[in-house]
Amino acid sequence: MRFRYLVVAIWIAAVVLTAGLPSLSSEINNNNSQFLSSSAPSQRAATLAAPVLGSIAKNSQVSIVAARGSGTIDAADQAALARLAAAVRKVPKVESVRELGVSADGQAVSLQVRAALNQADISGQKKLIEDLEGALAEAHAPSGMTLRLAGQVATNVANQKSSQRTGNKTQAYTFLFIIVLLLLIFRSLLAPLITLIPAGISLLVSMRVIGELGAHGLKISEITELLLIILLLGAGTDYGLFLVFRTREELRRGLDGKAAVQRALVRVGESITASAGTVIIALLTLLLASFGIYRYLGVPLAIGVAVILLSGLTLLPALLAIFGKAAFWPTRVQAGEIKEGAWGRVAASLVARPVLTLVSGMLVFAALAVAALGYHSSGFGGAAGAPKGTQAAQGNALVAKHFPESSSNPANLVFRYPRSVFTDPRQVAAAQSALMASGQFKSLLGPLAPNGTRLAPADYQRLHALLGEPRRLPLVRPSDVSVPVGEYNAYRASAAFVGGGGHTIQFEAALKAGGQQSTAAMSATPKIREVVTHAARRSGARESGVAGEAAALYDVSETSNKDIVNIIPVAIVAIGLLLALVLRSAIAPLYLIVSVAFSYLAALGVATLIFVDIGGEPGLTFILPFLMFIFLLALGEDYNILVMTRIREEARSRPLRDAVIRAVGRTGTTVTSAGVVLAGTFGVLALAAGSSASGSQVRAVGAGLAIGILMDTFIVRTLLVPATVALLGRWNWWPSKMSREQDHQPAKPPPVGVGD
């Protein structure tokens, strides 16, 4: 109170000082396979493929497609491509530029650019794509020729820009939603702004700090940015509501502005701190996760919640002290009798029949939870392609048109042989035959079928003897070479499938199950791995593996399921201990956590009904159950703490059932308002997800969390928990001193009327 103006100045300075740090959105990685550990089978396969595809840790590859609308590539085009390749080699970080080959229709050429960039270096890849786009623009392609970037890196960068726009949209919509809702709640002009300003400032500071950590190695996914926006604005507004509502209550008791703020902070400061503490503890348990998205999700969100807690305990009280009663203008806050209102009547009814309330609520939750039996998971692979209208989308379309058997995002089937395939290509033929016989693939490109033209093993061996290694050949067949053009182009194109002196090869496969980011392709991964292992034995390969996005997503899903089993018990125990300390009880944390489990299963059931049974989705993203439990456990306990600490406060001077009625009456509006704000912000996430890189999967996360929070707000915290407290009586506080005290004599019944 004494240094309120200095406190405001310090927070303004924090915003100014962090403005020069990198933005969070510039560090987003939309390739979720990058969050796997190096021991995952798909990552081991990618390492095995390094002689062909380059190292994940050292190299990023971008494709350039040059295509004619009509006619075939001629001498002028070839000269232009040579100039382009020379210009691209001068781009920073570019190590090499190779012409992979001419398409079977003769109308397009594919070039491969390899850069010295870790595939997790998002800002570096963004700069690379910008530089390459600039080089294409300055290349002065011949009339009728189109030059476009294609491939996974170009797609990821395009989606990263899309994610930035989605994040900005989510942030703007969330601010607008909260402002409108707070205007309705407070019927005041200043109170909504005073409540929201600390959350907004905390978001600005947190995003810059986390962006700086991202620039120094912290991996940040799109879901991290979206959840940070929603969590800080939603939870920050909730903590603000806790304090602002209590301040208004103290003003109605007759205190002046500063005294009301001071008393309110003393009363609810513990609740706010404990509430933020439960969220921080739940988030930090994610550090135990094997899956990088979870592990790297915990620290950024915990930082954000810590900042919002600090602003809630300093900046918000300072603003309230500065404005005093004027914060609630034009509503007049006058001293007088405080009525319990509608929630007081509800509480009086439920404590009179606590058993009926509990049984009814549990039956409703059980019925909804039955629908969760229909849950099955789908992937979370990011965008299926680049946003429409981008260079990456146009480049990928050219790949699909002129290299129809190729793919900008294939499955990579990798084999390593003890003998070079240049001298014994029969190994490749045996592997190719075994793979095609499995019936799992729509198309298969490899050393003997690199661009649609097939080569027999004997022809491949002959061409190697005549021409040497394919990666050393010029794009256009020299005039003194008598090999037919079709054979020459096919052999030269095989360079994209052979490396390590001919000991490592790969096949690019299109799965019959579906595209690499489909749930069907992810689910088919165990069978594909069996097929590849069989082909390796048939062809004499020493090592083999399956790389690509579907295999990575399968490993992500398996890792995620293990994390659920390992982390959730730790989170439950950690939050249970914190609740025991805050409530001075060993009994209350037990039923409070059980209540979260009930609402969690019911919310998962409702989400399954909406998205799978009714919406026809192939499944719910596998991260939804995990995130729902962690967030509902953490955020749900926020309201538990507020209600239970108020019940304990009132029970010191009145009978427990009267204390429940008074506490629910006084906090009911706060809890429901806070719950609607938080659920609404997750609802905004669901609505804004349509243009995000992860589409319906982010929508399911937002909707699932919104459903769970609404159930917590209107059923668990305001009905079931108070009924349980009334039923257990003094055992709620065991083994603290309150559990051994006799219930107080009945106090004068609290006034019941229409309240705020």
pLDDT at 748: 46
- Nearest alpha-carbon partner for 579 in 229, 282, 219, 140: 282
Residue whose structure tokens are 């509990």: 358
| Contact predicate 221/697, CB 8 Å | no
| Contact predicate 525/516, CB 8 Å | no
Alpha-carbon span 663 to 709, nearest angstrom:
21
Contacts of 75 (CB under 8 A, 6+ apart): none
Phi, psi of 619 (to 5 degrees): 165, 175
Structure tokens at 58: 């050292």
| Contact predicate 664/648, CB 8 Å | no
Alpha-carbon span 602 to 365, nearest angstrom:
5
pLDDT at 505: 94
Chain centre distance of CA 475 = 43
pLDDT tens-digit map of 494-518: 888 998 889 999 999 989 888 777 7
Q: What is the pTM of this model?
A: 0.70
To 5 degrees, how large is the angle CA 33–CA 35–CA 40? 70
Alpha-carbon span 294 to 221, nearest angstrom:
10
Alpha-carbon span 374 to 613, nearest angstrom:
8
Query: 404 preceded by cis ω (within 30°)?
Result: no
Contacts of 332 (CB under 8 A, 6+ apart): none
Neighbours of 433 (CB within 10 A): 12
pLDDT at 750: 44
| β-bridge partners, 22 | none
Q: Are strands 620-621 and 377-378 parallel, antiparallel or unpaired?
A: parallel
Q: Are strands 108-115 and 94-102 parallel, antiparallel or unpaired?
A: antiparallel
Q: How far apart are the first and last CA of the chain?
A: 27
Q: Are strands 504-511 and 411-416 parallel, antiparallel or unpaired?
A: antiparallel
**Tally of CA atoms within 13 A in the half-sphere of 696 that contains its CB:** 17
- Nearest alpha-carbon partner for 111 in 75, 76, 77: 77
pLDDT at 30: 59
Contacts of 380 (CB under 8 A, 6+ apart): 32, 553, 556, 621, 622, 623, 694, 697
Structure tokens at 496: 């994209």
Burial of residue 62, with CB atoms counted within 10 A of its CB: 0-12 exposed, 13-18 middle, 19 or more buried? buried
Q: Are strands 108-115 and 377-378 parallel, antiparallel or unpaired?
A: unpaired
- Quote helix, strand, coil % in the chain, to nearest 5: 65, 10, 25
| Contact predicate 639/671, CB 8 Å | yes
Contacts of 655 (CB under 8 A, 6+ apart): 743, 744, 745, 746, 747
Burial of residue 388, with CB atoms counted within 10 A of its CB: 0-12 exposed, 13-18 middle, 19 or more buried? exposed
| Contact predicate 81/99, CB 8 Å | yes
Contacts of 710 (CB under 8 A, 6+ apart): 675, 676, 679
| Contact predicate 623/289, CB 8 Å | no
Alpha-carbon span 719 to 358, nearest angstrom:
8
Alpha-carbon span 685 to 87, nearest angstrom:
43
| Contact predicate 642/268, CB 8 Å | yes
Output DSSP code: residue 139.
S
Quick check: helix, strand or coil at residue 452? coil
pLDDT at 29: 66
Alpha-carbon span 671 to 642, nearest angstrom:
8
| Contact predicate 509/441, CB 8 Å | yes
pLDDT at 407: 58
Alpha-carbon span 508 to 530, nearest angstrom:
17
Quick check: helix, strand or coil at residue 618? coil
- Nearest alpha-carbon partner for 698 in 383, 482, 416: 383
Below-70 pLDDT ranges, the chain: 29-35, 55-57, 101, 119-122, 160, 162-164, 166-167, 334-341, 377-386, 404-409, 475, 688-697, 741-756
Burial of residue 137, with CB atoms counted within 10 A of its CB: 0-12 exposed, 13-18 middle, 19 or more buried? exposed
Alpha-carbon span 749 to 659, nearest angstrom:
10
Output DSSP code: residue 417.
-
| Helices and strands (H, E) in the chain, number of each type | 24, 11
| Contact predicate 250/61, CB 8 Å | no
